[in-house]
Amino acid sequence: MSVLQMVACVVLPALAIAAAERFAPAKLLGPVVLCYGAGILAANLPGLHLDDAASRTVSSVAVPLAIPLMLFSTDLKKWLGLAKGLLLSFALACISAVTAAGVVGWAFRERTDEWWKIAGMLVGVYVGGTANMSAVGVALETRNETFVLLNASDVVTGGVYLLFLLSVAQRFLGKIMPPFVGHQEAFAHEGESLSVWTRSHLRPMALAFAGSVAIVGLSAGASMLFFHKVDEAFTLLALTTLGIGASMSPRVRSLAGSFELGEYVLLVFCVAVGALADVSHLTGASVTLFVFVVIVMVASAVLHFGLCALFRIDVDTAIITSTATIFGPAFIGPVAAALKNRTLVGPGLSMGLAGIALGTYLGLFTAWGLRAIAG
């Protein structure tokens, strides 16, 4: 079953791309939503029992491979004009997460004795990622069952929010925010998405894939050397840095199809992650905890987008920084693809890494601050 599941993760993106080229409804949704939706459907299909370990293996391999592939064609000079808006939007996202978790946590202080710990953990995950939530939970000695329920609630809530970002967010938020300004590198149109998969492109794509494997190997090896383990944040930082460095070479930047190959690998990731969204994991979960998570995520996102609109930050930048903080670097590619704006992939990855770096600190400071205020 595990082998078949992994094969399905690799094959389904090709079917999604083909469907988006041939059928109007599929074209409207796009390959990213189709792949993510296929994974969710499989995870919740009665009688079909998926192997979560297989899905996690595929997702953990796909992201490191995709990042260098998507960075090889990057022009670093074009990032510089985006820095001010990105940094401001990122700061607003962090402020929004801390504010939302703090206010909601205080409101829930009579409902659970670990309210301040939960608030800190949610800041960790909505600024950095699951690793930060785990780190905050361990540091605060949170009960194991609280962490399990919190993580399950976050998966379900985050899945709904991700579908919003992948589908109507750009059109909806574009009503209150200005459009993206500057040079925009568009993703391949659905009708052109398979055009790179020709015999003439196989060699440069193979070279790009080999380069990506080499970068992942070097990054993981460096992590083992310094930390005696594959540290997620360090490895992502290293392979992003090496990918950007490689993109400075005209020969690497001219490798035809490298970005499209990275897109495909990310579609594989979308199928695998969707397959982990089993709603049955919420069986017996605390309704209070689930409501806690929902309100914090919604309040954080609404506050962030409201502040972005106030400061006249463009809609694409606001969405990418929201993705970077709430979901981390792994989801930058799929959301950028949905926005049809590849210019923000590199900067978005940088913001995601910054979130991982800050998430634990902000989470702990929020929890300790709430505990101090409560006396």
Q: Express each pLDDT in 99-114 by its tens digit.
A: 999 999 999 998 888 9
Is pLDDT at 285 greater than 80 in this prediction? no
Residue with tokens 């997460």: 97
pLDDT, tens only, 224-243:
999 998 887 688 778 878 98
The answer for residues whose C-beta is within 8 angstroms of residue 243's C-beta and 6 or more apart is 67, 68, 70, 71, 72, 74, 212, 215
For 153-201, what is each residue's pLDDT tens digit?
A: 887 888 889 889 988 999 999 999 999 876 555 554 433 444 456 677 8
- Total tally of structural domains belonging to the chain: 1
Residue 249 sits in which domain range?
A: 2-374
Q: Name the phi and psi angles at 328, rounded to 5.
A: 90, 180
Distance CA 366, CA 359 (A): 11
Render pLDDT for 46-78 as a digit per residue (tens, 0 to 9). Answer: 888 888 899 889 988 888 888 888 788 766 666
Does the pTM of the predicted model rise above 0.85? no
What pLDDT sits at residue 76? 65
